[in-house]
Amino acid sequence: MRRLALALSLQLLTAVACSHDRRAAAPQADAKQQHTIKLTAVGDILLGDASQSRLDREGYDYPFRAIAATLASSDVVFGNLEGPITEQTKALDGDKEYVYKSKPAAAAALHAAHVGLLNLANNHALDHGDEGLLDTIRNLDEAGVRHFGAGKGRAEAIGGEVVEVAGIKIGFLGFMEKYGPYGTTYPNYFAKGQHPGVAELHERWLREAIGAMRPRVDVLIVSCHWGKNYAEVTKTQQRYGRLAAELGADLVIGHHPHVAQGLEVHAGVPIVYSLGNFTFGSKGRFDQLDPLLRRSWIAEITVSDRRVAAIDLIPLEVDNKVVHYQPRVATDVDLAAMVQKLNEPFGTAMEISGTKAHLEVAARELAPR
Ligand SMILES: [Zn+2]
């Protein structure tokens, strides 16, 4: 009797499995699957400086080992390259407190780690002057890693980059907030005419860049280097994040504060104010922070039916005194409390499931642009 019951249930299981297989193989399901792609956004990357001896000893794949599967399962991975890839020795300015650079091997390592695109609009892109930036562009081009947010002149800096996956065109624009010595002590930091530099986070630049990119793409991502280190979201971040959303971005992704910040939905557009560090070659000051505020995010973006349909934020352990330049998913953080704390100013509720905080993004009526 028992054996018969077992045999029957096995038959049932087989029947269920077969019908599932048939469903999975149906052309309709295939077509639907092709219209859903996953993009992965990571924060600040610096392969060098304090992490150099580990890279030399362990290899350039070392920083990515704990997160390799997540990156490899994504259709497009993009991040912020915080420092030039160059062998130049002359710094932008002798007084600059932190001057970074990576060896040319970094470009191939990023490509091998599935990083497809990098924002260059940040406060370290010109740490070794124009030549350092031009070397970076050449090294990334040679390694097959695309880039945006800086260029040989203004048009290139704000021109952005477009990638196409499964027939879906995704545009990337990058901008850096003007602050401190950038644009003053370092007068040529921002691209101008035919002069190399980074794109400035400024209403006029945003309008021009978004206006030109919008008609060319299905999904437009604006990447902003802004805010203050280890701090809360600033008024400037909020002003420009909302403006980018109103001007036609589908997603705004921020970086620079070294730590994760909250997510706001403005005019139906998600703004992730800061991803925080990814693999970053300086020790950092994380142990001075509230434990809930020490982490970074990886953002997984689901694009479905040619629009941003969902975002999952995954907390990352990035304190280099703990992870030694090899970020890993933070499994011991109270994710619900972290999301509550970071999103509180914006009232954004997210669904917590395991190590992911999930947000469904509603389809929105697109205003004439
Ligand atoms: Zn920065």
CA of 97 to the centre of ligand 1 (A): 13
- pLDDT value at residue 366: 63
CA of 353 to the centre of ligand 1 (A): 31
CA of 362 to the centre of ligand 1 (A): 31
Which stretch of DSSP H or E encloses residue 213?
helix 203-213
pLDDT surpassing 50 at residue 177:
yes
Q: Which tens digits make up the pLDDT trace of 255-278?
A: 999 999 999 999 999 999 999 999
Share of the chain above pLDDT 90, in %: 85
pLDDT surpassing 80 at residue 29:
no
CA of 68 to the centre of ligand 1 (A): 24
Pairing between β-strand 150-151 and β-strand 197-198 as defined by DSSP bridges: antiparallel
CA of 83 to the centre of ligand 1 (A): 9
Share of the chain above pLDDT 70, in %: 89
CA of 13 to the centre of ligand 1 (A): 55
**In angstroms, how far is CA 94 from the centroid of its own chain?**
30
**By mean pLDDT, which of 40-44, 89-93, 122-126, 190-194 is the weakest?**
89-93
CA of 123 to the centre of ligand 1 (A): 5
pLDDT band, very low/low/confident/very high, at 34 (cuts 50, 70, 90): low
Q: Among candidates 169, 137, 142, 168, which has minimal Cα distance to 152?
A: 137
CA of 125 to the centre of ligand 1 (A): 9
Q: Which tens digits make up the pLDDT trace of 292-350?
A: 899 999 999 999 999 999 999 999 999 999 999 999 999 999 999 999 999 999 999 99
Q: What average pLDDT does range 20-38 have in this prediction?
A: 54
CA of 369 to the centre of ligand 1 (A): 31
CA of 338 to the centre of ligand 1 (A): 23
- The pTM of the full predicted model, rounded to 2 decimals, is 0.90
CA of 89 to the centre of ligand 1 (A): 21
- pLDDT value at residue 367: 52
Core vs surface per residue 131-167: b (16+ CB within 10 A) or e: ebbbbbbebbeebebbbbbbbbebebbbbbbbbebee
CA of 45 to the centre of ligand 1 (A): 10
- pLDDT value at residue 97: 86
Residue 200 three-state SS: strand
CA of 189 to the centre of ligand 1 (A): 14
pLDDT surpassing 60 at residue 3:
no
CA atoms within 13 A of residue 278's CA, in its CB half-sphere: 30
Structural domains of the chain in order of their starting residue, each with its CATH number: 37-360 (3.60.21.10)
Pairing between β-strand 263-266 and β-strand 251-255 as defined by DSSP bridges: unpaired
CA of 82 to the centre of ligand 1 (A): 6
Distance CA(191)–CA(182), nearest Å, equals: 12
Distance CA(138)–CA(86), nearest Å, equals: 9
Q: Among candidates 330, 325, 327, 328, which has minimal Cα distance to 58?
A: 325
- pLDDT value at residue 14: 37
Mean pLDDT for the chain?
91
Q: What average pLDDT does range 236-251 have in this prediction?
A: 98
CA of 80 to the centre of ligand 1 (A): 9
Q: What average pLDDT does range 107-125 have in this prediction?
A: 98
CA of 255 to the centre of ligand 1 (A): 7
